[in-house]
Amino acid sequence: MDFPNETAAYRAARNKLLESELALRRQIEKLAEQRRALPPGGEVPNDYVFQGKDGQVKLSQLFVKGDTLVAYSFMYGPKMEQACPMCTSILDGLDGNAVHIAQRTNLVVIAKSPLERIVSFAKERGWSQLKLLSSEKTTYNRDYQGEDAEGRQQPMLNVFHRSGGKIRHTWGSELLDAGADPGQDPRHADLIWPLWNVLDVTPEGRGKDWRPKLKY
């Protein structure tokens, strides 16, 4: 593959980069296979009761399309003055993809604030496809790492699977607490975050200190 007016030096360097991209793709596929091959995780201790737009809904009732549930813990607790801008960036992208995701699996967004507050913020952002739930009256956030011991909210992506009448936790974005190399963010949710994936292909990259905001 060649592009107009490119130099031999560029093509040689690009071909070398392509080898690295191919190796990364293989590693991503291998990692996905390892993730799918994990043994069954811990059984969910409670059939948590959330608040949704249609009233109370149990965790067990969220399995509408198949036996897998993807749940994102949105950092928007009742004591927070505003929603987390980073989480908001993720959900801006997921809202547009929710209808496609729903063809294969179940996706919900869980926050600790009262439902009315969550819905009001979603309306401001123009979200219309995400299934939003309040965990205000449950221990879900604490149990599944969406909240620390002091009640501070944390971003967390969790996956649950239903089999044989039981619901088990199968995977969580544990990179959040695994540490990061110098100069890097934990990047635990990059796989569902379009923002960074687009910026990573630019010459300027992500930028050392830039972060998304609620308003620009």
Summarised one tens digit per residue, pLDDT across range 125-176 is: 999 999 999 999 999 999 999 999 999 999 999 999 999 999 999 999 999 8
Over residues 69-89, the mean pLDDT reads 97
Domain of residue 95, residue span: 49-174
CA 213/CA 85 separation, integer angstroms: 5
Whether residues 95 and 22 fall in one domain: no
Whether residues 117 and 17 fall in one domain: no
Q: What are phi and psi of 8, to 5 degrees?
A: -65, -35
Q: What are phi and psi of 109, to 5 degrees?
A: -120, 125
Whether residues 63 and 141 fall in one domain: yes
pLDDT confidence bin for 209, thresholds 50/70/90: confident
4-31 pLDDT, tens digit each:
999 999 999 999 999 999 999 999 999 9
Whether residues 72 and 149 fall in one domain: yes
Alpha helices in the chain (DSSP H): 8-36, 85-101, 115-125, 140-143, 194-199
Number of domains, the chain: 2
Residue 5 in domain: no
CA 184/CA 62 separation, integer angstroms: 35
Instruction: Specify the pTM.
Output: 0.94
Residue 203 in domain: no
